[in-house]
A and B are shown apart, each in its own frame.
Chain A
Amino acid sequence: MTAHRFEVLVSLKPGLLDPQGKAVEASLPALGWTNVRGVRVGKHIELTVEADGAEAARAQVEELANRLLSNPVIETFRILSAEEARA
């Protein structure tokens, strides 16, 4: 068994209004940044999985991201291994 580190990025599906993103976007002009659009707020989750091989570890992260970390009704996710996240 080896330790495999991953990052999971959860985002709201494109069609859905993101109230937090909107609020952040609306406050930027007050700081002088008037050229920013399309702010979306998501989640960034880091975790380590003990597994036999990177493939098994990733498959498990895929499953737990589907079942718990994201809600497929409103969100999508991306999984990055520690190496991919650094790249």
Chain B
Amino acid sequence: MSAGRPRVGVITFPGSLDDRDALRAIECMGGEGVPLWHAEADLRGVDAVVLPGGFSYGDYLRTGALARFARVMDEVQRFAGAGGPVLGICNGFQILCEAGLLPGALIRNRQLRFVCKPVDIRVETTASAVTEGLVPGEVLRIPVKHGEGQFVAAEDDLRRLEEAGLVVFRYCGPDGELEERFNVNGSAAAIAGVRCEDGNVVGLMPHPEHAVDPDVGPAGGQPLFASLLSFALARV
């Protein structure tokens, strides 16, 4: 990599939609975006990996259930296992849950309707690849657009992941209030994003890649990519 400019791979699966926005967001934030292909067992030596949003394999069977068996995913598993930063956005989050890299699962929104709007999310921990340098309690405005974003887990698993501090983001009000009316899809404990034990793998339903350019909307995605880039850089 060139000095100070981490290379961030974005995987395109059949049905990915937000791969280009993710690549653009990475470039906007000073990284080098590297397109990766689902059928190739090759991460091209990138310093971080993003699984973008979309509807991989048409969401058949379960969201993310088929994409997790793509050839590139063995490499993602290895990369994550070695501490490499991996960010899953929306469908990417669903794939990481299906792959067992993140706890829980995502099912149909409680209100059974697709939801598409800017939401506020509260940073719950800084011990993750996308929240380093942020402050717990900080509120970010980022859009969501999903029909199956309700985070669920068995009660025991939910307790375990709360105790271990694996919740990275919760849906909240503009001032960080946790109220059910701000819980945009009925997620358990208003969870919008989680991390793995080591913090290098993170998934969230909101789309930070759509929120890096203040000219066209909220810019709450900027600090997430800034953190991802510096996390990637620190490992090199």
Residues of A at the B interface (CB closer than 8 Å) are 12-13, 15-17, 19-20, 23, 68-69, 71, 73-74
In the complex the two chains form, is B152's CB within 8 Å of A17's CB?
yes
- One digit per residue, 1 when the CB lies within 8 angstroms of any chain A CB and 0 when it does not, for chain B 95-129 equals 00110000111011111100000000000000000
Besides the contacts A20-B108, A73-B103, A73-B153, what 11 more A-B pairs have beta carbons closer than 8 Å?
A: A13-B154, A17-B110, A19-B186, A20-B112, A68-B61, A71-B62, A73-B105, A73-B157, A74-B107, A74-B152, A74-B154
- With contacts A19-B109, A19-B110 known, is A73 near B155, CB below 8 A? no
- List residues of chain B with CB within 8 A of the CB of A68: 61, 65, 69
**How many pairs of residues, A versus B, come closer than 8 Å at their CB atoms?**
41
Query: Count the B residues whose beta carbon is within 8 Å of the partner chain — how many?
Result: 22
- List residues of chain B with CB within 8 A of the CB of A20: 108, 112
- Inter-chain CA distance A62–B150, complex, in Å, is 28
Task: State the majority secondary structure of interface residues on B.
Answer: loop
Residues of B at the A interface (CB closer than 8 Å) are 61-62, 65, 69, 97-98, 103-105, 107-112, 150, 152-155, 157, 186
In the complex the two chains form, is B112's CB within 8 Å of A15's CB?
no
In the A-B complex, the 9 residue pairs with the smallest Cβ-Cβ separation, listed nearest first, are A74-B105, A19-B108, A73-B105, A23-B112, A19-B112, A19-B110, A16-B152, A71-B105, A71-B62
Chain A residue nearest in CB terms to B106: A74
In the complex the two chains form, is A15's CB within 8 Å of B155's CB?
yes
6 contacts between A and B (CB under 8 A): A12-B107, A19-B111, A20-B108, A71-B98, A73-B105, A74-B105
Chain B residue nearest in CB terms to A26: B112
- With contacts A13-B154, A19-B112 known, is A69 near B107, CB below 8 A? no
